[in-house]
Amino acid sequence: MQKVPFHIATTTTSYYYYYYYYYYYYYYYYYYYYYYYYYYYYYYYYYYYYYYYYYYYYYYYYYYYYCYYYYYYYYYYYCYYYYYYYYYYYYYYYYYYDYYYYYYYYDYYYY
C-alpha cells in the first residue's frame, strides 16, 4: 500500500474543504440575490400598477365632469366613448400586469 506524505494529504483536504465552502456560500449568495431581485421587481411593478390605477381614475373623473357640462348629445357620446377606450386600456394593462407578475412568480418557483 503506497503511503502519501502527510503535508500533501493535508493540503489536498484543505483545498477540498475550501472549494466546498466557497461553492456553498456562492450558491446561497446567488439564491438570496435572486430572492431580493424578484421582490424588488414585484414591488416595483406593484407600485407602478397603483400609480397607473390612480392616474386612470383621475382621467376618468376629469372626462366625466368635462362631458357632463356640455349639452350636446353628440359631444357627450364622444366623451363617453373616449372614457370607455380608457377603461378598456386600463383592463388591458391590468391583464398584462397580471400575466407579467405570474410569469415572474412561476419563474421564481421554477428556479
pLDDT value at residue 16: 67
- Count up the domains in the chain and report the number: 1
Each residue's pLDDT tens digit, 8-31: 545 555 666 677 777 777 888 888
Q: What backbone phi and psi angles, to 5 degrees, belong to 4?
A: -105, 135
Each residue's pLDDT tens digit, 30-88: 888 888 788 787 777 777 777 777 777 776 666 555 555 554 444 444 444 444 444 44
**Distance between CA atoms of residues 23 and 16, nearest Å:** 11
In this structure, is residue 23 part of a structural domain?
yes
In this structure, is residue 1 part of a structural domain?
no
**Nearest CA to 65 among 79, 77, 82?**
79
Q: Residue 109: pLDDT above 50? A: no
Residues 97, 49: contact at Cβ < 8 Å? yes
pLDDT value at residue 106: 41
pTM greater than 0.85? no
Q: Name residue 99's amino acid.
A: Y
pLDDT value at residue 32: 81
What is the span of the domain harbouring residue 57?
6-110
3's grid cell: 503511503
